A and B are shown apart, each in its own frame.
Chain A
Amino acid sequence: MKINMKINNKPVTIDVDPMKRLLDILREDLHLTGAKESCGEGECGSCTILLDGNPVTSCILNAIHAENREILTVEGIAQTKAGKLLIDCFDETNAVQCGFCFPGFMVSSYHYLMYDGEPNLDKIKHALAGNICRCTGYQKIFRSLYLACERWQKR
């Protein structure tokens, strides 16, 4: 089935099984390997992308769900001003150890920055609740988004 979507602002048409997982389309067909698979069941957030601006786990999203919708991946986010700010803040607070979870945290953090952006620890914790990190520890990650929020407000 032919499916149209926009990925990182570019129109894309692909001919795929409508049930193919969006994560696989991104990684295998489009070579956008930022989104990662670990649990494959929506539990860990390492495959997070934005669908029409909202965060979703692309491992349980089918091609058909993306028809005529806009997708922003971590590759697209990294090109934006807010994305670059987030990378700097994660770097400064040493919030990335092995880095496997990082693309997912970037996407959720970017969404929070755009949608709310208040430097508020409780809200930040909730915004990142769907992303799991197994090595850095969460405090540094919370701190980096907090820092990004403060800087984003002052820009």
Chain B
Amino acid sequence: MKFLKPNNLTELFSSLPEISGKKYFLAGGTDINVQIKNGLIPEGTIIYINHLPELNGIRQDENEIFIGALTTYRELLNSNIIKKHLPFLIHSLKNFASPLLTTMSTLGGNIANGSPTNDVSPPLLVLEAELELISQNDSRRIPFQDFYLGYKKFALKENELIKGIWIKQNAAKGYQTFYKKVGSRKTLTIAKVSVAGLKRIDHGQITKIKIAVGSLNEYPRRLFQLENFLIGKDLDTLLEYDISEILKKEITPISDLRSEKEYRFQVCLNLITKFLSLNFVG
């Protein structure tokens, strides 16, 4: 394995095209090192990026919050800006991995490793976050929901990396929020199902709703069909059956060593009805 530590971004981008073979960015290394240990990483070049200041820090401008890709979970959970404006994000991520992992695990690495079970995606999806991507001569922003194209397939071009995440300061303002990750234990657990949601209810009617799920498809996603169905509906007249039928079209859970697909489907349905505060009997 070759190794490169560029001194700065300019050096990084000028050297990238010259590297042949596989390239791996090394941020906190919590995914890569496990992959190396298990022989899952073919020979190539490891490019250290964890020291680059342009990819770091949490900042706030007039309307938005920027979270650098290298921000660690520990930094995010302790950030006063996030505590003040996006407490929903803290609530959602407070049981990420274990306190030993939060020190190194970065948000950019979590997104770019691209596991369907990654914890950061469902909350970012309902917050309608955007990703800033940078390459040698370009910087562009894309909606986070367009980042995943398939299982571990991303809207990243060659030699492009994630600079950071942008979230509107008022993204969750005035919404009732919901987040639940179901695993075998509270911490140090990979999600079997996770659901994030934002809703506004006016006189018993759903006026706004956003729902995102993780671990149920080849990548985390918003449930737009279900949202469209729910909007304008009266909570009292909703049928669990209808929700279930739409959910069947929108999620394709798998069976694996963690759980069976039927279990995943049922848990997802239960969480969504819980989010809607519907107490169906039976």
A interface, CB within 8 angstroms of B = 1, 17-19, 21, 40-43, 45, 48, 51, 54-57, 59-62, 64-65, 67, 108, 126-127, 129-131
- Give A61 to B51 CA distance when docked, in angstroms: 14
Question: Known contacts A56-B100, A56-B104; can you find 11 more A-B pairs with CB under 8 A?
Answer: A18-B5, A42-B30, A42-B34, A42-B101, A45-B98, A55-B100, A61-B29, A64-B3, A64-B26, A65-B28, A130-B187
Closest to B102 in A: A54
Chain A residues within 8 Å of B34, by CB: 41-42, 60
Chain A residues within 8 Å of B101, by CB: 42, 57, 130
Flag if A55 contacts B103 (CB, 8 Å): yes
Chain B residues within 8 Å of A65, by CB: 28-29, 50, 104
B interface, CB within 8 angstroms of A = 1, 3, 5, 26, 28-30, 33-34, 36-37, 46, 48, 50-51, 74, 97-101, 103-104, 186-188
- Give A48 to B34 CA distance when docked, in angstroms: 16
Contacts A42-B34, A57-B100, A61-B104 given; indicate if A129 touches B26 (C-beta within 8 A).
no
A-B pairs with the 9 shortest C-beta distances?
Answer: A130-B98, A130-B100, A60-B33, A129-B187, A54-B103, A56-B103, A129-B98, A41-B34, A55-B100
- Give A18 to B26 CA distance when docked, in angstroms: 11
Flag if B46 contacts A130 (CB, 8 Å): no
Which of A54, A59, A108 has the largest number of chain B CB atoms within 10 A? A54
Flag if B100 contacts A126 (CB, 8 Å): no
Flag if B29 contacts A127 (CB, 8 Å): no
- Give A108 to B102 CA distance when docked, in angstroms: 13
Contact of B3 among A19, A108, A130 (CB under 8 A): A19
- Give A21 to B29 CA distance when docked, in angstroms: 11
Contacts A54-B74, A62-B26, A129-B186 given; indicate if A108 touches B37 (C-beta within 8 A).
no
- Give A16 to B68 CA distance when docked, in angstroms: 30
Q: How far is the CB of B32 from chain A (nearest CB, A)?
A: 9
Flag if A18 contacts B29 (CB, 8 Å): no
Q: How far is the CB of B29 from chain A (nearest CB, A)?
A: 6
Chain A residues within 8 Å of B1, by CB: 19
Flag if A127 contacts B37 (CB, 8 Å): no
Which of B33, B37, B99, B187 has the largest number of chain A CB atoms within 10 A? B99
Chain A residues within 8 Å of B48, by CB: 18, 64
Closest to B72 in A: A54
